[in-house]
A and B are shown apart, each in its own frame.
Chain A
Amino acid sequence: MPFTDHYLELDGCRTHYRRAGKGTPLVFLHGASGAPVVLPFMETLARRFDVIVPEHPGYGLSDEPEWLESIHDVAYFYLDFLDSLKLERAVIVGSSMGGWMALEMAVRNTSRIGSLVLVSPAGIAAPGAEAADIFLLSPEDTIRQLFFEQRYAEERLAIPLTPEAIDIALKNRHTTARLAWEPRLHDPQLPRWLHRIDVPVAIVWGKEDRILPVGIAHELKRLLPRAEVHLFERCGHLPQVEKADEFCDLVVRFACR
């Protein structure tokens, strides 16, 4: 079943999302580079779940609301989003920036959340595991550093850039800076409230992640001792792309038990 496009007016923000499939709701929260297209892992997950892929406020085809000043605003917005779509026991899958959003939501309210899958999430800092400076990397270097297997980078770099795609890339970059410039890609207050998360958590990471090094996964496990950790070999920052099949199997196994 193909993904269909929807718009939801919420908190003064016209929000674009794609939706496909039936069953338990699964909300995928994208990372800094957005979710401009439907990727194979989304289609695979839509065979088992009611998959909802919103574009965050300030990203893609969604509005840039004036109130958007910090990651906390995004967390409250997505709690409203779950309410608005009346989702029950939703699986929240968050990649990178989206994983950070999932954590910020879950420390506030898990009443509509069934479980969290955190895919190389931002949000916390770990001693000795310095994140790449994504704001000093050129667009090409950013894409190269996302992947372990460079053929994925080559594929992305080969896609011609339309003026619309450039506009969206600049918009996404702007919002990422607004949310994550300082403190860089994390919230220093978050660790002290992580104990509030009372739903099952899976932490997924590529061992060769050059954007957020795998050392952060160990720190997150220390902070969330009941979480399960899955590390992928020969894999960079986007396991859902580089290891799509294993990733989807993992999500199904974890979320459907």
Chain B
Amino acid sequence: MQIVLFHLMPYADLDLAAGRKNGTVWVTLPNRNFDPQKGHRLYNRYLDELEYGEELGFEVLAVNEHHQTAYGLMPSPIVTASALARRTKRARIAILGSALPLRSHPMMVAEEHAMIDVISGGRLISGFVRGIGAEYHTFGVNPTFSHDRFHEAHDLIVRAWTEPGPFSFHGHHYRVRYVNLWPRPYQKPHPPIWIPSQGSKETIDWASHPDRRYTYLQTFSPVKVVQRYLKQYRDTCAGYGYSCEDRQLGWAVPVYVGETDAAARAEAKAHFEAFRNVYVRMPLEMLLPPGYTSRESLKNVMKAKAQMFGDVTLEQALELGLFVCGSAETVYRAFEQYWADLRFGNLLVMCQFGTLPADLTRANMERFARGVMPRLKALN
């Protein structure tokens, strides 16, 4: 199993009461709640944590993209991935992912990812996402064109990476007279592509297609949901007539390792609950604007609204497999069992979540890296 250290870089100094009162930390939380002095310390702390991840033996360091929110301070993962490209030497760097439909031009994504791939000597893993629903509110991009723009942007980027230029591209949303990428990516034919998702049939059908076989990552979901979608991915591969490799599957989950189960829960509780119940929270209309999902999926979410939009305690989250927390032995056993069921080749651990401070984050990373990771890497 390949272990990825995944960082969301939240604004951990958030006034939680302000976030609660506003109902969400996305889109509408006034930015006077962001203090640049604190932001300066947080960015540098978080980049240090990722760099320390390489020292501890994490094979991949991952960043992502979110806009106008305290949930994550990386409107451009290009910036953080670039910093890592120079400060690290061995670890791969994953952008999970660039929100293609939100960018005004996919050529910029193709260029920036190629730059990082060349600078890092081929250590980039590219990820593509559509951006979450809230970001269609912040950017004004029409969500009813989200899927179309994603697919067309993807096609343009992959062609720009792989086909000799100059050539012209005539899409519905993007038209380019001269596609002629400088620099071309370092890796051949191009950096691996990972697709983070909250789970949808459309995404799975597309990512698993024999022409692509992209690694599918199920992000922050109850383990039953992870199980359902990873199985669906495997079944879809079988339907296409090939056998899914473990490396095509991944699971992104917050993790906390303490000295004992009790200590781990006590240390993580407030920070995890802040993450789940303040940072993640948003109203249905913000999460799922029209066209972002199929209307059938939207109706399913409307039915499950009570469970999805209510508070979850740490104890409930452990029960749901939404969070993995305990002593090194407990955490290893949990992942061993999940792995035996799901056979995901990539485990993305979030060792920092919500308000978790620097000292606990480092201690968590160290205990995970020493007490859990070597045995997980050996699983095959």
CB <8 Å contact, B289 and A135: yes
CB <8 Å contact, A166 and B299: yes
Interface centre among A136, A138, A166, A167 (most CB of B within 10 A): A136
- B285 an interface residue at 8 Å Cβ cutoff? yes
Given known A138-B283, A174-B295, contact A184–B290 (CB-CB < 8 A): no
CB <8 Å contact, A136 and B285: yes
18 cross-chain CB contacts under 8 A? A135-B137, A135-B290, A136-B27, A136-B137, A138-B283, A170-B290, A173-B290, A174-B295, A177-B142, A177-B143, A177-B291, A178-B142, A178-B290, A181-B143, A181-B144, A182-B140, A182-B141, A184-B140
List of A residues within 8 angstroms of B144 by Cβ: 174, 177-178, 181
CB <8 Å contact, B289 and A170: no
Binding site for A on B (CB under 8 A): 27, 136-137, 140-145, 283-286, 289-291, 295, 298-299
Size category of the A interface is 10 to 19
The A/B interface has a contact count, at CB < 8 Å, of 47
CB <8 Å contact, B285 and A174: no
11 more A-B residue pairs beyond the given contacts A166-B299, A177-B291, with a C-beta to C-beta distance below 8 A: A135-B290, A136-B285, A136-B286, A138-B284, A167-B295, A170-B299, A171-B295, A176-B290, A177-B289, A181-B144, A182-B141
CB <8 Å contact, A170 and B285: no
- A10 an interface residue at 8 Å Cβ cutoff? no
What's the least CB distance linking B301 to chain A, in Å?
Answer: 11
List of B residues within 8 angstroms of A138 by Cβ: 283-285
What's the least CB distance linking B103 to chain A, in Å?
Answer: 15
Chain A residue with the shortest CB-CB distance to B286 = A136
Given known A135-B137, A138-B285, A182-B140, contact A177–B290 (CB-CB < 8 A): yes
CB <8 Å contact, A174 and B142: no
- A252 an interface residue at 8 Å Cβ cutoff? no
Cross-interface CB contact of B298 among A136, A137, A170, A177, cutoff 8 Å: A170
Chain A residue with the shortest CB-CB distance to B145 = A178
CB <8 Å contact, B295 and A181: no
Chain A residue with the shortest CB-CB distance to B302 = A166
What's the least CB distance linking A244 to chain B, in Å?
Answer: 30
Chain A residue with the shortest CB-CB distance to B139 = A182
List of B residues within 8 angstroms of A181 by Cβ: 136, 140, 142-144, 289
CB <8 Å contact, A136 and B283: yes
Chain B residue with the shortest CB-CB distance to A180 = B142
CA distance A184 to B140 in the complex (A): 8
